[in-house]
Structure 1
C-alpha cells in the first residue's frame, strides 16, 4: 500500500471521530458543550503528537543509546520504519566491520608492503610487510608525514616529481625495494613496496652458475679440441704420443661428463617438483658400499676405517649415498698418501650422526662458510688435479636440507678436517622424513 495512505487514513479517521463526537454532543447538549468536547479532543490529539515528536527528537539525538519508543496510530508505522532502518544500519555496520577486519588481515598476510596515505602524505595505515621494508610502525607513526619517516633522497625526489607511472628502485636497510605509488579516491594514495632482494640474489647466483659452468666446460673442451687439431694436422704423429693424447682426451671427457651429471643432480635436488620419496635406508649396506668405493679411489694409499654403531633411518637411499660418497671421496682426494680417514655412524642424544674425519691438508677458517657454494674451491689448481667438479658439497647441502639434517665442518690447516652430518632423532622412527623446501 502507498505509505502516504497509511498516514492519511488514520488521521482522517481520528478527525472524523472528533467531528462526530462533537456533533453528537452539540445535538444533545447544545453548541457550547459540543464545541468544548471537540476542542478538548483536538488539544489531546496535538499533545499526543507533540509527545511523540519529543520522543523522536530525543532518539535522534542519541540513536545508539536510546531505545525506540512504542508508537500510536501513524507513529507506529514511523517508528517501525525507523527500527528497520536502524537494524539494517547495524547489520551493514557489522558487515562493514567484518569486511574491514578481513581486508586488514589479508593485507597483513601479503608479502608486499602496503601503506595508505592521505593527499598530503600523512600515514593512515600500513601492513607488517611495509613496517619491515620501510622501518615504519603503524601504531607509533600513524598521522605522521611519510617523507619524514622514510629518509631517502631518491624516495623524496620520486614523491616531489609525482611521476608515478614508473616504479622506483630503492636500496633501503640492506634491501632492494621496488616502490610504486597508486593514487586512489580523491584524497588518498597507496604506496606498495616489493622486496626484490631475494630475486636479485637468485639472479646473481644464476649468472654466476652459468659463468662458472661455462668456465669449467671450456677447459676440457679446449684440451680435446687442441688434441683433435694436432691429430688432424699431424696424421703421422708418433703412436706413443697419440695414445697419450687419447688418454688425456678421455680424462677430460670424463671430467665434462661428471660435471654435467653433477649439475643435473643439483638441478633435480633444487626442484620443488621432485620431493623426497622416503624409504628404509639400510645404513650398514650403504656405508659398506661407500667404504669399498673409497678403497678403490684410494688405491691403497690411505688407511680407511669404518665404524657403525647406530640405527637405520628413513630417507632417500640414492640421495644419501650421493651425499655421503661426496664427503668420503673429498676426504680421499685431499688427504696425502699415507694419511688416515675415519668414517663413523653413531647414535647420539640429538639423533643419528655421520662423520668423516681425515688427516689431510685442512681448510682455513675463512673458507669454511663458503664451501657449499657452487664451484667454490679453496685451491683451484689442486681441485683440477683431483678431478673435482666444485659441486660436490653443494649437492651435499641440498640433500641434507631435503632430509632435515645439518652439516658441521671442523678443520685446521695441515691438521685435517672433520665433516659431521647431524640428523634429527625423528628420522629413526616410523614416520617418513618430510621433504623440506630448499
Structure 2
C-alpha cells in the first residue's frame, strides 16, 4: 500500500466510526443524544489535531530544541517522516561541515592565494596565502567588497571590466602576482593569486648572468681575433711585434679559461648532484698554502701575516681553499703596493672565524650588499686591470652556504676592508688548538 493510502485510510475509518457511534446512540437513546455525542467526538478529534498542529508548529520554530512527539493516528506517520528527515538533514549537515572543513584545509595548504567572492565582489572567505599576497584578513574583511580592500587601479579595472580570459599581472606589496578570476556557480567567483616574484628574480639573474658572461668572454675573444687577423694580414711581421701579440693573446686566453673555470665551479656548488661531504680539514696547512699563494700573487709588493689560533673543522678542504684564496687574492689585488694584509683563524664563542684584513682602497657602503652578486664590480676598469672574473665573491658565498657559515664585511674607503667568515661551532673538530704567527 502506498504512503498516501496509509495516511488517508485510517483517517476515513475514524470519521466513519464517529458517524457509526453517533447513529447507534441516536437509535437507542434518541436523535438528540446521537447528535450531541457525534459533535463531542468531532470536537475532541479537532482539538487533538490542533494540539498536534501546535506541537508541530513549535518544533518547526525550534527544530533543535526538542524531540518530536510520537503522535496518534496519521500523526504517527507524519512525525515519523519528519523525524527521519531531520536525522537525514543532521547527517547531511555533519557531512557538509566535514567536507567544508576539508576543503578549507586543502585551500589553506595551496601555494597560491584563493579568495571566494559573491557576484557583487563581496569577500566570503580567503586562505592564508591570499592574506599574505593581498593584505587581507579572513576575520576582519569577511563581507566587505574586495575592490575596497585592494587599492590597485589595474586590479579594480580588471574586476569591473570582467574580461577574465587573460590573467592580470599585478605588482602589489613588493610582490609580483598573476591574478585569475574563475566563475564559480551562478553567484560566486574565485580569485586566485600566484606569486612569481622569485621566478622573475631567478629569470632576471639568468638573463644578467648570460649577458655578463657573454660580455666578459667577448672582450678577450675580440682581442685574440684581432691579433689573429693582423698576423694573417701581415705574414712578414717582425719577431718582436709577433711575440708581443702572442703574449697578449695568451693573457686573454688565460682570462677566458679563468672565467670558464669559475663558472663551472659555481655550477658545481649550486648543483644538488654534488652534496657536501664533510671531512676533517687541517686548517693550519690549508691556510699556510693560502698565504703562500697570496705572496706569489703579491710578488713581494705587500706584507702578508698569518695568525692561527683556532681548531680544525669538518668541511670540504677544496672548497674552503677556493673561498679563502678568493678573499686573500682580492685583498692583494685591491691593496696598493707597500700595504699590509692580515690573515687570521681564531676560535670564538660564536664558532671558528676566518678573517682577511687589508689596508686597501676600501669599498663605499652602498656597494657592500651587492658584492657577492655574479659579475658585480665596484670599479669595472680597475677589475679588468687586476684580471678578476667578477665571480670570486659569488663562489665564496656559495661555499659558505654549503658549510652553514656567514660572511661579514666591514670597509672604509681609502682605509681598508675586513672580510670575516664565521662557522657554526658544531663544525669544529675537538682538539688542542695551537697558536702560530707567520
- TM-score, structure 1 normalization: 0.83
Deviations 1:175-217 (CA, angstroms, capped at 9, x unpaired): 3332222222111222222233332222222222111111100
Q: Choose 412-421 or 97-106, whichever is displaced more.
A: 97-106
Q: Quick one: structure 1 residues 105 and 279, their matched pair in 2 at CA, closer, same or farther if it must change by over 3 Å?
A: farther
Partner in structure 1 of residue 127 of structure 2: 127
In the TM superposition, what are the counterparts of 1:12-161 in structure 2 within 5 Å?
A: 54-70=54-70, 79=79, 82-161=82-161
Q: Secondary structure at the match of 1:350?
A: coil
Unaligned runs of 5+ residues in structure 1 are: 26-31, 431-438
- Are residue 346 (structure 1) and residue 346 (structure 2) matched? yes
Q: Give distance in 1, aligned partners of 2:189 and 2:353.
A: 56
TM-score by length of 2: 0.83
Matching residue of 1:395: 395
- TM-superposed CA distance for 1:251, in Å, is 1.6
Q: 1:36 to 1:319 in 2, by over 3 A?
A: farther
Q: Any idea what the Cα deviations from partners look like across 1:408-436, whole Å, max 9, x if unmatched?
A: 11111222211001222233379xxxxxx
Offset, 1:324: 1.5
Cα distance between partner residues in 2 of 1:17 and 1:380: 113
8 Å CA contact retained: 2:311, 2:429: no
Counterpart of 2:202 in structure 1 is 202
Distance in 1 between residues matched to 2:70 and 2:309, nearest whole Å? 87
Cα 1:237–1:140 shift into 2, 3 Å: same
Consecutive unaligned residues of structure 2, counting only runs of 5 or more, are 26-31, 431-438
1:412 corresponds to: 412
Question: 2:164 touches 2:181 (CA, 8 Å); kept in 1?
Answer: yes
Deviates more, 1:71-80 or 1:366-375: 71-80
Q: Residue by residue, what CA displacement relative to the aligned partner does 1:218-276 show, whole Å, maximum 9, x if unpaired?
A: 11101111121122122222223222222222221111111112112222333345443
Distance 1:54 1:324, change over 3 A: same
Separation of aligned partners in 2, 1:243 and 1:398: 40
Q: Deviations over 1:134-185 (max 9, x none)?
A: 3333333332222233333323332332211112223333333322222221
Could you give the per-residue CA deviations for residues 354-397 of structure 1, whole angstroms, max 9, x where no partner exists?
11111222222222122111111122222122221001111111
- Aligned: 1:249 with 2:275: no
> Counterpart in 1 of 2:435?
none
Query: Paired residue for 2:427?
Result: 427
Cα distance in structure 1, aligned partners of 2:83 and 2:256? 83
Which residue in the other structure is 1:433 paired with? none
Q: Structure 1 residues 15 and 161 mapped into 2: Cα distance closer, same or farther (>3 Å)? A: closer
Shift of 1:333: 1.9
Alignment of 1:169-248 (within 5 A): 169-248=169-248
Structure 2 SS opposite 1:138: coil
The separation in 2 between residues aligned to 1:400 and 1:64, in whole angstroms, is 65
Alpha-carbon contact 2:312-2:429 (below 8 Å) kept: no
**Residues 306-353 of structure 1, C-alpha deviations (whole Å, 9 max, x = no match):** 222222333333322222221112112222333222211112111221
The match for 2:302 is: 302
Asked if 1 retains the 8 angstrom alpha-carbon contact of 2:114 and 2:190, the reply is: yes
Q: Which deviations, in whole Å up to 9, do the C-alpha atoms of 1:36-86 show, x marking residues without a partner?
A: 999999998887776655544433332212124446777666655544443
**1:270-317 superposed Cα distances (whole Å, 9 cap, x missing partner):** 334544333333323332332232233233332222222222333333
Mapped partners of 1:97, 1:167: distance in 2: 32
- Cα distance change, pair 72–424 in 1 and its aligned pair in 2 (3 A): farther
Contact 2:280 2:429 in 1 (8 A): no
Question: Structure 1 residue 5: deviation in Å?
Answer: 8.2
- For residues 257 and 276 of structure 1, the distance between their equivalents in structure 2, rounded to whole angstroms, comes to 25
> Alpha carbon RMSD of aligned pairs, Å?
3.6
- Where does residue 260 of structure 2 map in the other structure? 260
